[in-house]
Amino acid sequence: MKAIMMMFDSLNRRHLSPYGCTWTRTPNFQRLAEHSVTFDNCYAGSLPCMPARRELHTGRYNFLHRSWGPIEPYDDSMPEILSGNKVYTHLISDHQHYWEDGGCTYHHRYNSWEIVRGQEGDRWKGRVRDPEIPEHLGMFWRQDAVNRSYMHSEEDQPQAQVFKLGLEFLEDNKDEDNWFLHLETFDPHEPFFTMQKYKDLYPHEYRGPHFDWPFYGKVTEDPEAVEHLRCQYAALLSMCDTYLGRLLDFMDRHDMWKDTLLIVNTDHGYLLAEHERWAKGDPWHEELVHTPFFVWDPRCRIQGERRQSLVQTMDIAPTLLDYFGLAVPAAMQGKPVRGPLEKDEAIHEGLLFGVHGHLVNVTDGRYVYMRDSVPGNKPLYEYTHMPTHMRMRFTPEEMRTMTVAPPFSFTKGAPLMRIDVFPPAWEQASAGPGTRLYDLENDPAQLKPIQDKAVEERMIRLMVKLMKESDAPEEQFERLGLKV
């Protein structure tokens, strides 16, 4: 048995033709939908990038206990379990967060791995003299300017190299059995850097400075610049579509559909001026957390159909373990998606999603309830054996707050370091967006929160239930003002 997971970063379902978009060019995503099952109610869970990938490995939420961080010593890692059961695992990625302090234990869980350098601010090429930075809107990092200067053609871009290596792996191993390929590109994450031929697919008038990387937060640019940035995203999305097509071509050419599971997914979406905001952050609206998800399973061979069952990132690890006939560890909260795939069978009553220390959110598919914290957002702790942030270690000031906490149900009897969240970037209650309730059936764009006491109480009960099932620390209920 063979399996491929093709993962994109920041892939917004509302810009894909299988999900109803008519202005972007994504024929290969449409082709994928025709050869697989398209899930209409897939959600992100732990956010953003590395928390999502920890969930991908462990099949459980981690944002209630930990911010951005590595795989912990007590974590069950799906690729490591596969490797330990004679399923060869290989990772190919240009996602630079894997090689940073807060992600450095993920790629070592595979039998082998290949990295492609140069995305975003990846500290790749060294240049002492300052690069020329063009007049621009939004962001333009020095290191990214250096990196781009080495990418003169499409073949030089990291995404192209990721797929080249992926096709090389498939060519070498297409006739072998028992392997899992995790193929992952950082695109279409910002900055939206791609070649002119993809930009030419989206002609528009723009006379402003360079703009392909927005500041996270409120939109301040004029409508012309907003349209331009959306076209920049669309251009990079069409590049993703092109390379997805090359993967599908290979599977067609070698008849891999008969014995190869294919999952195409993302970690989260992206705001392109919806809700008058760029990128991602609180509140985590549908454009960010309601994600595209496609599955081809050669065991049932269902294609060209859609499913309404709630599924989530945490279901991918159990799905892959189940596919290879392996037991799902008790600590995994996710479920194999074979039931939803074959019969649209419900496997979740509701789903949580969020960022550590920010709003905790819950959906049942009809409603989304966003719960803000009490004033001060306290108490709040990090629980870890691996005290690293995204690009740095915890500081001595943070570590001086450390106490020993008893084990959680999923830490295999191991106590943990409990460390104060310091300094809390969201310290003031006024910084939070406030508690909200949305009716997705009547307001899918989440333009107007509703007031419905009965629905809110029901969603609170669901949130508390799911948090308890996640063994959430007591202080999470306290900081959210929830009665247990």
* Residue where a domain terminates, one of 311, 345, 379: 345
pLDDT at 349 over 70: yes
Are residue 163 and residue 18 in the same domain, yes or no? Answer: yes
Closest CA to 15 of 209, 245, 240: 240
The answer to the question of residue 77 being in a domain is yes
Q: Tell me the whole-structure pTM to 2 decimals.
A: 0.97
What is the domain extent for residue 415? 352-479
Domain containing 61 — which CATH number? 3.40.720.10
Q: If you average pLDDT over residues 13-37, what whole number do you get?
A: 98
pLDDT in tens, 120-153: 999 999 999 999 999 999 999 999 999 999 999 9
- Overall average pLDDT of the 386-400 stretch: 96
pLDDT for res 429: 38
Residue 267 located in a structural domain: yes
- Are 164 and 301 within one domain? yes
Query: Do residues 1 and 213 make contact, with C-beta atoms less than 8 angstroms apart?
Result: no
Residue 72 lies in a domain: yes
Task: Kindly tell me if the per-residue pLDDT of 398 is higher than 70.
Answer: yes
Q: Give the pair of three-digit tokens for residue 80.
A: 């490591």
Cis amide leading into 48 (omega within 30): yes
* Residue 324 shares a structural domain with residue 358: no
- Please state the φ and ψ torsions of residue 251, each to the nearest 5 degrees: -65, -40
Q: List the Cα angle 219/284/474 in 5-degree steps.
A: 140
Residue range 344-372: mean pLDDT, rounded: 97
Q: Look at residue 376 in the predicted model and tell me its pLDDT.
A: 86
The reply to whether 374 and 405 lie within a common domain is yes
Within 8 A by CB and 6+ apart from 435, the residues are: 359, 369, 370, 371, 372
Domain end marker among 345, 373, 395? 345
pLDDT tens per residue, range 443-470: 999 999 999 999 999 999 999 999 999 9
> Quick one: 356 and 336 in the same domain?
no
Query: 484 in a domain, yes or no?
Result: no
406 lies in a domain? yes
CA–CA separation, 281 and 270 (whole Å): 10
Residues 406 and 331 in one domain: no
Whether 424 has a pLDDT exceeding 70, the answer reads no
- Count of all residues that appear for the chain in the document: 484
**27-34 and 223-253 helices, crossing angle to 10°:** 50
Give me the percent of the chain exceeding a pLDDT of 90. Answer: 96
Report the pLDDT value the prediction gives residue 427, as an integer from 0 to 100: 42
Q: Are residues 374 and 327 in the same domain?
A: no
Does residue 11 have a pLDDT over 70?
Answer: yes
Sheet containing strand 260-266, edge to edge, reads 112-115, 88-93, 179-185, 2-8, 260-266, 294-296, 37-39, 305-307
Is residue 442, in this structure, part of any structural domain at all? yes
- The residue among 324, 345, 366 that closes a domain is 345
Query: What are residue 38's DSSP bridge partners?
Result: 294, 306
**If you average pLDDT over every residue of the chain, what do you get?**
96
Domain count, the chain: 2
The region that residue 340 occupies, defined by phi over 0 for left and psi between -120 and 50 for alpha, beta otherwise, is: alpha
Residue 64 lies in a domain: yes
Instruction: Report, as an integer, the average pLDDT of 351-371.
Output: 97
pLDDT at 219 over 80: yes
Mark whether 377 and 264 lie in a shared domain: no
Closest-CA residue to 184 (of 295, 281, 97): 97
Grade residue 431 by pLDDT with cuts at 50, 70 and 90.
low
The pLDDT assigned to 423 comes to 60
Q: Are residues 286 and 373 in the same domain?
A: no
Please give the pLDDT value at position 433. Answer: 85
pLDDT in the model for residue 367: 98
Task: Please report whether residue 360 resides in a domain.
Answer: yes
Q: What is the predicted pLDDT for the residue at 26?
A: 98
Same-domain check for residues 327 and 444? no
- Mean pLDDT for 54-71 is 98
Name residue, tokens 């308890």: 468
Same domain, residue pair 414 and 455: yes
Same domain, 309 and 418: no
What average pLDDT does this structure show over 286-291?
Answer: 98
